[in-house]
Every structure is written in C-alpha cells, then in structure tokens.
Amino acid sequence: MSKLHIDAHDLTLRELRRAWDGPVQVTLSENRRNAVQAAQATVNAIIEGGDQVYGVNTGFGLLANVRISNDELSALQENLILSHAVGVGEPLSDDIVRLIMVMKVKALAAGNSGVRPELIDAICTLIDREIYPLIPAKGSVGASGDLAPLAHMAGILIGSGSARVDGKEITAAQALKKAGLEPIRLAPKEGLALLNGTQVSTAIALAAVFRTENLLAAAVTASAMAADAIKGSDTPFDARIHAARGHASQADVAQMLRGLLDGSTIRASHVDCERVQDPYSIRCQPQVAGACLGVLRHVGDVLKIEANAVTDNPLVFAETGCILSGGNFHAEPVAFAADYLALAIAELGSIAERRIALLVDPHMSGLPAFLVKDSGLNSGFMIVQITAAALASENKSLAHPGSVDSIPTSANQEDHVSMATFAANRLHTMLDNVIYIVAIELLAAAQGIHFHHPQKSSAILEQAYALIRERSPVLEQDRSLKPDIESVAMLIDTGGFRKLCASLLPSLEE
C-alpha cells in the first residue's frame, strides 16, 4: 500500500494520482497536529469569551443571525450533517472518494479549520482500512462547498449513511466497527469544517485529468500509427517548425511523434514520394494535441493548488486568535478548469475521428476501402467510423461550459454558484466517448499498418500494434468489432499506452 505523509508541503500531482490509483495509508506530521490543536484552542477560547461566530454558535446560510446556546453546539453540527446529506444519483467511484478523503485530511490539517486532531485521525483510519463512504454524484452547485456530497462523507463519522468495502455496501455502524471506531460526537465547528470545501468537485476533476493523461498517451500513439498507415510525411514534425512558433507543448508533442515514428521501414519506403502535403488531421497533430497538452498542464496546475487549499468557512487564524468569514468554498477555479479541460477532451476526439475517416477513405489513404479485403462483400470499418462520428458530435454539446450557469440557493444568500461539480462530472462522460473514438482509431490504424506488412513500423509502434493484436485479430472479413472496441478502450483507460508517452504527462513530470 502506498503511503502519504501529510505535512506542510503541498501534495504533488504524482502523489494525488497515487491516491486515485489505489489504496493509500495516510499519516499526519507532528507539526500539522500542533497547528490543528492551536486552531481548535482558538475556537474554544472564542466560545468561552461569548463571541458570536458564524457556524460555530450560529445557524447557517440565511439563518446565520440565529444564536445557538453553548449546550446545543454539538447538536448543531450533527444536525448540519444530517440535513445536508441529500445527494442523489449513482455513487462516486471508490477511487474518487479516496481522493476526496485525502484532500479533506490535507485541508483540515492546515490548521485553519478549528477541528480536533482525532477527527482527522478518524478519516485517516477509514482511508487506511479502505472503507469509503457512499457519496451520491449529484446534488452540489459548487458553492458554499460541495455540501451534500461532503455531508455523505461526514455522515459515516457520526454513524449515519452507508459505506463501501471491497465493492460491497455496508451501514455506517458496520463501517465504524470494521475500522475500530466509535461514532464521533462533534465539537463546535467540526460539522461545518467537514461540509464546507471544494474537495468533491476537485477530486472529480482531478480524476478526469488522470484519465485524460491515459487518453492523451493513447491518442498520440494512435495518431503516429495513422500517419504511418497512410504513408504520411514526418516533415511537419520537424523541430525547427515548432521552435519557430514557440509553444512548448506543441514542440513536446512533435518530439514525441518523431520518436514514435523513428525507424519505421514503412516511412522509409516512401521518402521520395510525390505527395506534397497531408490533411490537417495528420499534418497538424502537434498543433492540436500540443494545445490539448497545454490545457492539461494548466488544469493540472490549477487543481493541484485547489487540492492543497483550505476551502471551508469561516477560517481560524490561531496566531492572531481570530476567526474570519470569507468565501474560499466557491469553486469557480475548479469550474473554469473543468470547462477548459472539456475543450481539450472534445478536440482530441474530433481530430481522432477525422483520422479514422481518412483511414477508411481509399482515395485519401491509399489503403483498401474501409480497411478490408473484398470491400463490397465486406463493410469493414465503415460503421465504426459512424460510431466515432456520433461520439465526437455528442461531445460538442457536452463541451458547453458549466461555469456560465448559476442558480441562486439558500433563499438568495448563496446567490451566485460555480456549478463546478457538474462541470467536473460531465468530463467523465466526454472521456468515455473519446476513449472509444481513440480505441477505434487504434484498431483502424493497426489494420492499415497490417496492409503494409512485411514492411514494419517503428519498434515503439510495433509494440503498440502488438498490444492491439492481443485484443483484436486482423479483420479478414466482417465480424462485430464491438468486443474489440471495448477491450482496447479498457486498455486505454487503464493506462496501457502511458509508458509510450510518459514524458508528456503532467503527473509523471514531477
């Protein structure tokens, strides 16, 4: 099991990816434990002094002016969790929930939330024991924090709700017993600290970043295979062209394409051909995939900041003994990042679909019509291109920004919201679509390369070809390609091409 030590340093994308990839053991440093205790002492001192502080001894939202007596402060926090646990829809996956919990530990450990160390320890225990609260995917507007989903996470700690262990749903009481924990009686502000925060929208968006890395590696590999299959020119990938423009991500993709194609005997066979220029889907791969890589890097940077941020409210500053109310829970940075990533995902699918169309067109590719012998009797790859077109077109609608929407909540107290959770959630539908498109392109490009045998592609692309052939034999005559598409899509989504393009991927650069 991987280990994560929470201290004053920021978690890196690589560490966050580890928390998403598989089970982790989380520990808290002594300096973070001291900071947490100092903040909690500040909260206690303010309560004892009789000051009124939002969320500590008042109601919430529009009820912020309602003073709560000291003997009801624990009930106030418990009621907050129970009343807010109203999410709906399918539960989030365990990998996303684990990432949510890790980021919540990181935020609480900063020492600005006023909770007790034992509350953080309880979350760490659940993570260590691989006990993941059942969190519905829908119900957050991404402002005042991801309230409903985080209430479902917090509910387990007080003995409410459900959890999942080894894929099986169990009650909160069973989950606590399995973890060796008792239900926690919440101290002042602890319920609010658990519910406020952008950890859900950020985790969903980060998971999309990590899946996009897997997709990008496969997409760049597929594009190189497609270029070789149509006997395309590698001149457009020349380093001098990309240095003249100056975009680092574009140059990086061009360098990767040169490396992927290096040593191809298919390429060597047509060095002196009369073709002047290839279609844009081949020639402009560095410009398009490079721009997508630039987006991915930017989004990764934004979400890394947010993953390490303190986003609950109000915030405790023990060094000055004050509690300040603000709005770090507003997830606008996450919403913008998710919307930006949506454009890159859509474009990776759009250009891949165009390369599929190119491969199946004998006038453009020089290959047999629809990549099959005896076309006419056989339809070959005719209809899989239509499937890719349908998926690419669907993503055009899904790419519409979620962040431009806002709907007032809480009797207009929360009158502008980010919609970050929706913006992040829809990325996964888009990714599913593009992963299928790129799976189809890999199958089509492999079929195209097959027609050039005994000439070989480069050593790296022959590795990719072998990976595909392990899951999909050459199409000699018509058969349903659905099982082949599903198998290659799974290979993409689980990082099967990641090692071929590892130097491009943000979470592997650190």
pLDDT tens-place values along the chain, 510 residues long: 899 999 999 999 999 999 999 999 999 999 999 999 999 999 999 898 888 888 788 887 777 778 888 888 889 899 999 999 999 999 999 999 999 999 999 999 999 999 999 999 999 999 999 999 999 999 999 988 899 999 999 999 999 999 999 999 999 999 999 999 999 999 999 999 999 999 999 999 999 999 999 999 999 999 999 999 999 999 999 999 999 999 999 999 999 999 999 999 998 776 666 666 899 999 999 999 999 999 999 999 999 999 999 999 999 999 999 999 999 999 999 999 999 999 999 999 999 999 999 999 999 999 999 999 999 999 999 999 999 999 999 999 999 999 999 888 877 778 899 999 999 999 999 999 999 999 999 999 999 999 999 999 999 999 999 999 999 999 999 999 999 999 999 999 999 999 999 999 999 876
Q: For residue 164, list its beta bridge partners.
A: 132, 169
The Cα 27–Cα 29 span in angstroms is 7
Query: What is the predicted pLDDT for the residue at 263?
Result: 95
Contacts 24+ apart (CB under 8 A), 481-490: 481/381, 481/384, 481/443, 484/443, 485/384, 485/387, 485/436, 485/439, 485/440, 485/443, 486/439, 488/439, 488/442, 488/443, 489/435, 489/436, 489/439
Cis peptide before 333 (omega within 30 of 0): no
CB 146 within 8 A of CB 331: yes
Q: Which of 436, 307, 223 is nearest to 10 (CA)?
A: 307
Strands in 306-412 per DSSP E: 315-317, 322-324
H-state helical runs in 156-284: 172-179, 190-195, 199-229, 239-245, 248-261, 265-268, 280-283
Say whether 54 is catalytic: yes
Q: Which of 123, 342, 91 is nearest to 200 (CA)?
A: 91
Q: For residue 136, list its beta bridge partners.
A: 91
The Cα 123–Cα 116 span in angstroms is 12
The Cα 1–Cα 356 span in angstroms is 41
CB 142 within 8 A of CB 334: yes
CB 421 within 8 A of CB 200: yes
Query: What is the predicted pLDDT for the residue at 276?
Result: 63
Q: How many CA atoms lie within 13 A of 17 on its CB side?
A: 19
Q: For residue 171, list its beta bridge partners.
A: 162
- SS3 for 414? strand
User: Burial of 208 by CB count in 10 Å (0-12 exposed, 13-18 middle, 19+ buried)?
Assistant: buried
Query: What is the predicted pLDDT for the residue at 145?
Result: 87
User: Can you state the percent helix, strand and coil of the chain, rounding each to 5?
Assistant: 60, 10, 35
Residue 139 zone, left/alpha/beta (φ > 0; ψ -120 to 50; rest): left
Q: From residue 226, give the alpha-carbon distance in Å to each of 11, 65, 391.
A: 38, 64, 19
CB 205 within 8 A of CB 341: yes
- From 54, 132, 436, 465, active-site residue: 54
Contacts 24+ apart (CB under 8 A), 8-15: 8/32, 10/304, 10/308, 11/102, 11/103, 11/106, 11/304, 11/307, 11/308, 12/304, 12/510, 13/209, 13/300, 13/304, 13/506, 13/507, 13/510, 14/507, 14/508, 14/510
Query: What is the predicted pLDDT for the residue at 38?
Result: 97
- SS3 for 444? helix
CB 432 within 8 A of CB 390: no
Query: What is the predicted pLDDT for the residue at 51?
Result: 85
Q: Which of 2, 24, 203, 205 is nearest to 103 (CA)?
A: 203
Query: What is the predicted pLDDT for the residue at 57?
Result: 86
Query: What is the predicted pLDDT for the residue at 167?
Result: 93
Q: φ and ψ at 164, to 5 degrees?
A: -125, 135
> Taking CA 410 as the corner, what is the angle to CA 404 and CA 413, rounded to the nearest 5 degrees?
80
Count of positions (residues) in the chain:
510
* Percent with pLDDT over 90 in the chain: 87
